[in-house]
Amino acid sequence: MSDTSIRPGGTRSLLKGAMLPDGTVTDILIENGRIVSTAPGAGTGASGTVVIDAAGLVALPGLVDLHTHLREPGFEQSETVLTGTRAAAAGGFTSVFAMANTLPVSDTAGVVEQVQALGARAGYATVRPIGAVTVGLAGERLSEIGAMAQSRAAVRVFSDDGKCVHDSLLMRRALEYVKTFDGVIAQHAQDPRLTENAQMNEGALSSELGLKGWPAVAEESIIARDVLLAEHVGARLHVCHLSTAGSVDVIRWAKARGIAVTAEATPHHLLLTEDLVRSYDARFKVNPPLRRDEDVQALREGLADGTIDIVATDHAPHPRESKESEWDAASFGMVGLESALPVVQTALVDSGLLGWDDVARVLSNTPARIGRLPGHSHSFEDGSPANLTLVDPAARSTFTLDRLHGKSTNTPYEGMTLSGSVRWTFHHGFATLRDGELADPSEAATFASGELAAGPSGQGIAG
Amino acid sequence: MRHLLSTKDLTRDEAIQILDIAEDMADVQNREVRKLPTLRGKTVVNLFFEDSTRTRISFEAAAKRLSADVINFSAKGSSVSKGESLKDTAQTLAAMGADGVVIRHSASGAPQVLAQSDWIDARIVNAGDGTHEHPTQALLDAFTMRRRLFPGASRGRDLDGVSVVIVGDILHSRVARSNLWLLRTLGATVTFVAPATLVPLGTASWPVDVSYDLDATLALTQPDVVMMLRIQSERMNAAYFPTAREYARQWGLDDERLGRLRPDSIVMHPGPMNRGLEISAGAADSAQSTVLEQVANGVSIRMAVLYLLLSGEREAQA
């Protein structure tokens, strides 16, 4: 690795008394963008060291979100790369994978390089663009996957998220073709014919409320087809936002069969149920929809037993007017970066299903591995990149809109009591979040420009 | 009661109160001067995002007979067709001083969204929302049943023990849903009859019997009431059933099936009817048919609802 001592922000920080994911309470010494020691007492007394009292805080490797909508280019009224990565930093994330449904669609090298560059310039998190599987997300012909993979953005994850790659032959070809570049298809599993104009989970409640149903089988049947296709062509498959108990069963079966499939669940599908739709409050409108309590429990169990590999936010900002309307007219989606860790703690850690080491796995180590993001996540080994976050697990409070830092406020959690509070986030050693306060944009940009000048540091270059 | 959004959240006492006030309103219809001064100075807006001339003129007649000022706002050719949001429409009506808004909308829950919002402070009456509810239709149906089944002794009564068979497109019917909840609250038993494609998912958890066989159901239950629902032609294109002829054969109320009903059974239809599809001309025009009574009773029920929501005395009581 190159010498990093000249970088701005390349000071020494000592995080005193933090608890590592494995339960060890120790000091963490950060210097020049690296974790240089996690031995107790390391670095004490050295001059110029910023000392942070981390007593009672849990240290996690910087969170990695494999499923974020940053909306730029094209939908800057909802979010930009800058505002979205500020929200990420506030939520403890040091890297986000930006979904391809931008305008223009991220289906060419030019667009993915632009998104990557905007992230690198802003400095709050490592932005990894996701490339579209098909041109314009139209589901008709493959986009220039090779050009995106070999661009400066080095794309490894391809997805038409928001739309399902529904054509079976096209999906087969996509799975095969991305193997060439060590890529993965992240499938939005939704049979389009079974979900025309669908509004909420199909069942007794959708029948009562008169909202068009989104049946579980529309997700499960696509996942079943895709795992078999992945097996047949020997490719890697990632399934986005699992939402039903049946989907967990299909993935469990596929993994037992040795198929190279990984799966994600969103925080909202791990906590919220369809009963919230009774209010016709469009903040609860999301795709795939909120499901039954049985589904929530099955997703939690799937995450605990490893069937589901990761938690990803599906952070989906929308402007106010697209949620202030009758249900049918409202947009699908919720913001989720700032609430992800509190929801995971509330739903899974407090209930004993996951330990903090599991949280590090499902929110950092494994998403980094699936997304082929080397040199970013870690297990606090000496020399690891200083991407980390400090969480106060004892905090418990009502979620309020002032905890959001993106452009949009379409959170479903306002007024709910959630555990845990993200206090500090370090990205390449730079404190993007400081005891709950975000770093100033100009300071982050200055740090980022120093990083860029110093050359690649694992950011964006898969190797 | 502040709004009328659904029958699901009406209590038995509230429902009977509405039906009894509707009896008074029906009596007014028989007087020489059919107008009451109750809502003089109040403004009722008929906000119709979906075409429904029958329902709109029924509400209009009801409001006018209570001396309210009526404004008809239809989405077609208005600011709504130019992309105005429900919020802006509601705030516009609020600025004009609407006291009551009668809303018909193709989106389920739109009346509730309006009632929960701070966009407008008016009383909201749901005149049909998507495939959710149509509460005044269910109330007028219950009112019609009560009058037919207990002539001269309908006041104060519920529908305890009355058996009702509802036949047709249950899946898309807000009338079927509103009727089910209200009829159960009033003590009636309900059976839905439809091809399986037109039965909503999850009805096993609803307080209703579901049957696919109209003949068997009529023979078994000997119902007091048979309610036929309109079949819309677009359902055929979506392959809910193969042909209109097959539907009429299996689930239509033809003359032969009419002949097998008890002579005192009544035949209902919320209109508009497809004669020869879900109901034969003979059944529609028979003495057992209540189709035109339902229309007349609709005005009485809507007068009762507007009176309850908008008259000052009731407000003071609430």
Chain B partners of A209 at a C-beta cutoff of 8 Å? Answer: 108-109, 132
Quick one: average pLDDT of B228-256?
A: 90
pLDDT at A378 over 70: yes
Q: CA-based angle B298:B269:B73, to the nearest 5? A: 45
Query: What is the pLDDT, as a whole number, of residue B80?
Result: 67
Quick one: average pLDDT of B277-283?
A: 96
Selecting from A215, A281, A325 the residue whose C-beta is nearest the C-beta of B85 gives A325
Cβ contact B202–A324 (<8 Å)? no
Weakest-pLDDT range from A120-129, A354-363, B236-245: B236-245
pLDDT tier for residue B117 given thresholds of 50, 70 and 90: very high
Q: Do residues A167 and A189 touch, judged by C-beta distance below 8 A? A: no
Query: What is the pLDDT, as a whole number, of residue A437?
Result: 98
Selecting from B85, B113, B202 the residue whose C-beta is nearest the C-beta of A280 gives B113
Quick one: average pLDDT of B3-10?
A: 97
B contact test, residue of A201, A208, A324 with most B CBs within 10 A: A208
- Using a CB–CB cutoff of 8 Å, tell me whether B85 touches chain A: yes
* A67-85 core/surface letters (b: 16 or more CB in 10 A; e: else): bbbbbbbebbebbbbbbbb
Count CA atoms closer than 13 A to B186's CA, side-chain side: 30
A226: annotated active-site residue: no
Query: What is the pLDDT, as a whole number, of residue A28?
Result: 97
Q: How far is the C-alpha of A213 from the C-alpha of B258, rounded, in Å?
A: 35
- Between chain A and chain B, the number of residue pairs with CB atoms below 8 A apart is 76
Tell me whether strands B43-48 and A437-438 are parallel, antiparallel or unpaired: unpaired
Kindly report the average pLDDT of chain A as a whole number. Answer: 94
Cβ contact A329–B107 (<8 Å)? yes
Facing residues of A15 across strands?
A: A28, A52
| Cβ neighbour number for residue A232 with a 10 Å cutoff | 12
One DSSP character per residue, B234-269 reads HHHHTTSSS-HHHHHHHH-B-HHHHHHS-TT-EEE-
Q: How far is the C-alpha of A121 from the C-alpha of A127, rounded, in Å?
A: 10
Chain B partners of A321 at a C-beta cutoff of 8 Å? Answer: 85, 87
Edge-first strand listing for the sheet containing B189-193: B209-211, B189-193, B163-167, B225-228, B266-268
Query: What is the pLDDT, as a whole number, of residue B235?
Result: 73
Looking up tokens 């925080």, which residue turns up?
Answer: A267
At B191, which helix (H) or strand (E)? strand B189-193
Query: What is the pLDDT, as a whole number, of residue B314?
Result: 44
| Cβ neighbour number for residue A58 with a 10 Å cutoff | 24
Cβ contact B201–A207 (<8 Å)? yes
Query: What is the pLDDT, as a whole number, of residue B84?
Result: 81
Distances in Å between the Cα of A58 and the Cα atoms of A75, A357, B303 are 36, 10, 64
Grouping H, G, I as helix, E, B as strand and the rest as coil, residue B165 is strand
Helices (H), A180-211: 204-209
Q: Do residues A54 and A296 touch, judged by C-beta distance below 8 A? A: no
* Residue in chain A nearest B86 by alpha carbon: A325
Q: How far is the C-alpha of A288 from the C-alpha of A305, rounded, in Å?
A: 23
Looking up tokens 């629902």, which residue turns up?
Answer: B229
Token pair for residue B302? 């809507």
Q: How far is the C-alpha of A177 from the C-alpha of A170, rounded, in Å?
A: 10
pLDDT in tens, A153-200: 999 999 999 999 999 999 999 999 999 999 999 999 999 999 999 999
Query: What is the pLDDT, as a whole number, of residue B75?
Result: 76
pLDDT tier for residue A11 given thresholds of 50, 70 and 90: confident
Quick one: average pLDDT of A97-118?
A: 98
Distances in Å between the Cα of A97 and the Cα atoms of A108, A391, B230 are 16, 22, 50
pLDDT in tens, A193-241: 999 999 999 999 999 999 999 999 999 999 999 999 999 999 999 999 9
Grouping H, G, I as helix, E, B as strand and the rest as coil, residue A126 is strand
Query: What is the pLDDT, as a whole number, of residue A46?
Result: 67
Looking up tokens 């995106």, which residue turns up?
Answer: A148
Helices (H), A274-404: 293-304, 340-344, 356-360, 366-370
| Cβ neighbour number for residue A462 with a 10 Å cutoff | 18
Grouping H, G, I as helix, E, B as strand and the rest as coil, residue A374 is coil
Query: What is the pLDDT, as a whole number, of residue B82?
Result: 65
Would you give the DSSP letter of residue A348?
A: I
Cβ contact B201–A202 (<8 Å)? yes
Query: What is the pLDDT, as a whole number, of residue A462?
Result: 37
A305: exposed, middle or buried (Cβ count in 10 Å: 0-12, 13-18, 19+): exposed
A284 Cα to chain B: minimum distance (Å): 13
Query: What is the pLDDT, as a whole number, of residue B79?
Result: 67
Q: How far is the C-alpha of A213 from the C-alpha of A229, rounded, in Å?
A: 27
More confident residue, B205 or A460: B205
Distances in Å between the Cα of A369 and the Cα atoms of A125, A157, A309, A456, A459 are 17, 11, 11, 19, 14
Weakest-pLDDT range from A32-36, A453-457, B293-297: A453-457
Binding-site residues on chain A for chain B (CB distance < 8 A): 202-211, 213, 215, 279-281, 321, 324-329
* B157-185 core/surface letters (b: 16 or more CB in 10 A; e: else): ebbeebbbbbbbbbbbbbbbbbbbbbbbb
Q: Do residues A454 and A6 touch, judged by C-beta distance below 8 A? A: yes
Count CA atoms closer than 13 A to B223's CA, side-chain side: 28
Domains belonging to chain B, first-starting first, are 12-134+296-310 (3.40.50.1370), 135-290 (3.40.50.1370)
Query: Which of these, A55, A28, A67, lies nearest to A44 by C-alpha position?
Result: A28
Query: What is the pLDDT, as a whole number, of residue B317?
Result: 41
| Cβ neighbour number for residue B202 with a 10 Å cutoff | 15
**Catalytic residue selected from A275, A314, A350, A435:** A314
Quick one: average pLDDT of B147-153?
A: 95
Q: Under 8 Å CB-to-CB from A126, ≥6 apart: which residues?
A: A94, A95, A96, A119, A120, A373, A376, A387, A427, A459, A460
Grouping H, G, I as helix, E, B as strand and the rest as coil, residue A53 is strand
pLDDT tier for residue A45 given thresholds of 50, 70 and 90: low
Query: What is the pLDDT, as a whole number, of residue A2?
Result: 39
Query: What is the pLDDT, as a whole number, of residue A97?
Result: 98
Grouping H, G, I as helix, E, B as strand and the rest as coil, residue A119 is helix
pLDDT in tens, B172-228: 999 999 999 999 999 999 999 999 999 999 999 999 999 999 999 999 999 999 999
pTM beyond 0.90 = yes
- Using a CB–CB cutoff of 8 Å, tell me whether B131 touches chain A: yes
Query: Which of these, B200, B178, B172, B202, lies nearest to B190 by C-alpha position?
Result: B178
B135 Cα to chain A: minimum distance (Å): 13
Grouping H, G, I as helix, E, B as strand and the rest as coil, residue B166 is strand
Angle, in degrees to the nearest 10, between helices A109-122 and A441-454: 120
More confident residue, B100 or A458: B100
Query: What is the pLDDT, as a whole number, of residue B262?
Result: 97
At B209, which helix (H) or strand (E)? strand B209-211
* A334-366 core/surface letters (b: 16 or more CB in 10 A; e: else): bbbbbbbbbbbbbbbbeeebbebebbbbbbbbb
pLDDT at A279 over 70: yes
* Residue in chain B nearest A213 by alpha carbon: B201
Cβ contact A326–B8 (<8 Å)? no
Q: How far is the C-alpha of A184 from the C-alpha of A188, rounded, in Å?
A: 13
Query: What is the pLDDT, as a whole number, of residue A40?
Result: 87
B contact test, residue of A193, A196, A200, A209 with most B CBs within 10 A: A209
Chain B partners of A281 at a C-beta cutoff of 8 Å? Answer: 113, 116
Longest dimension (CA), chain B: 56
- Using a CB–CB cutoff of 8 Å, tell me whether B99 touches chain A: no
pLDDT tier for residue B74 given thresholds of 50, 70 and 90: confident
pLDDT at A461 over 70: no
Quick one: average pLDDT of B109-131?
A: 97
Sign of CA dihedral A449, A450, A455, A460: negative
pLDDT tier for residue A81 given thresholds of 50, 70 and 90: very high
